[in-house]
Homo-oligomer: A and B are copies of this chain.
Amino acid sequence: MIMDELARQVKESSIKLAAAGTEIKNKALARIAESINERKEEIIRANAEDLDRSEKENLPAPLLKRLKFDEVKIADVVDGIYSLINLEDPVGKTLLSTELDDGLELYKVTCPIGVIGVIFESRPDALVQISTLCLKSGNGVLLKGGSEARETNRILAEIIIDAAEEAGIPSKWAALLETRADVNDMLKMDRYIDLIIPRGSNDFVRYIMDNSRIPVMGHADGICHCYVDEDADLDMAVKIVVDSKTQYVAVCNAAETLLVHERVAPEFLPGLKKLLDSKKVKVVGCPKTRALIPVNPASDEDWKTEYLDYKLSVKVVSGLDEAVDHINAYGSGHTDSIVTRDREKAARFMDYVDSGNVFWNCSTRFSDGFRFGFGAEVGISTSKIHARGPVGLDGLVIYKYKLIGSGHIVEDYANRFRTFKHRNLNREFTL
């Protein structure tokens, strides 16, 4: 099986890459950035082929726009690589250091996860971002992009792998997969692949989660809420709800449901409705909402739907508790925001809402790796383990326990001949 051999090679190289120092990794990143600039013409030519073919195959206009990889986008990804060089290496950080006993020292040190399988949509910039994040964090990577971007992905993968090798990185640390069959094969490679990051439609992500033993990091749905409390500054609330819903509708951190406290709903909803109308947002609502503004009824299905469109469901609630219960019942653990002047209520909202991102008096659209200052992100996770929310370099590492003794054996402690000290060393690991 070809995939088996490919995955094995990436795994083998990843072990070497894991031990690569910051300097060599940054040198490789710089070489990649230079090489992308040097071979700009080739990239644009390959992209033109993809665009031509996809246009003939009637790819919808928004997808064609995402597929396009021009001078501006190339400059953006190159800028991105230079920012990544400036970010701290997440590998080799000492998280804990304990003297277990005289001459017996324990260190908990961050290290790469190993091999990451990433499946991403049509944007070719995703290939550059993901592979460079993996390189900086010392992980091997199997990349599967959209078939629309076939030619662009090929040239980009070639450039990245060649440039990294010139800087001394083992050549097989990254590999490009091209077919759907490859994805299914990849899902079986739990022996070699340590984590899968799927970026794509909800159904696709669920398919991956259901068909692999490999841990999956990502999110299927982004059902985000704004809750406008009775103590909200209503002008602020309008701004936040409109931004959360309309600033960019086709993304996971856009709001899908508005919850409004019943005491302010009569004052708040009519004005908001006018603004949403002007932005062509369709509104559906609960019976109490419909008593206040003329909108279609919301079904139970609406509360659990990620519209990714100019559509908003609205529910009038009796207070914070009902809002929190609604979010925890129907939300997807992605991003939820409360608008209130009341500090205590904000604290309760942030404690009780079981989501990766809980916001007070700001737009749900802020939940993003760039905005959070992580430089870049491999995706946003709604998992409850490992990494939650926008995942940057820190989400691509785990740790090892390194224990250094001088002949220490457990029998001496079992016999009570020696006892443990467990003294915090507060020291970086070095040998």
A-side residues, CB < 8 A to B, are 15-16, 18-19, 98, 100, 104, 106, 113-114, 194-195, 209-210, 213, 215, 217, 233, 236, 239-240, 242-243, 247-248, 328, 343-344, 346-348, 350-352, 354-363, 365-367, 371-373, 383-386, 388-390, 398-411, 413-414, 420, 422, 431
Contacts and interface: CB of A to CB of B under 8 A. Distances in A.
A101 to B, nearest CB: 10
A90 to B, nearest CB: 13
A15 B352 contact: yes
A359 B420 contact: no
A422 B361 contact: no
Given A15-B328, A114-B354, A398 B410 contact: no
A406 to B, nearest CB: 5
Contacts of A413: 371
Contact of A400 (B15, B236, B357, B411): B357
Contact of A360 (B18, B233, B404): B404
B352 A400 contact: no
B372 A398 contact: no
A238 to B, nearest CB: 10
The 9 lowest CB-CB distance pairs between A and B, nearest first, are A362-B405, A243-B409, A373-B422, A365-B410, A194-B384, A236-B407, A386-B386, A19-B351, A362-B408
24 contacts: A18-B351, A18-B352, A209-B213, A210-B213, A215-B215, A215-B383, A236-B407, A242-B409, A243-B410, A247-B414, A248-B410, A343-B431, A346-B431, A350-B431, A356-B400, A358-B400, A360-B405, A361-B405, A361-B408, A363-B410, A367-B403, A373-B420, A388-B398, A390-B401
A15 to B, nearest CB: 6
A356 B401 contact: yes
Given A239-B409, A350-B400, A362-B407, 11 more contacts: A18-B354, A113-B384, A114-B354, A195-B385, A215-B383, A240-B407, A243-B411, A248-B410, A350-B431, A362-B406, A373-B422
A409 B358 contact: no
A389 B390 CA distance: 26
Contacts of A358: 400-403
A404 B339 CA distance: 10
A302 to B, nearest CB: 19
A9 to B, nearest CB: 14
- Max chain B Cβ within 10 angstroms of own Cβ: one of A209, A372, A403, A422: A403
Contacts of A19: 348, 351-352
A240 B390 CA distance: 44
Contacts of A243: 409-411
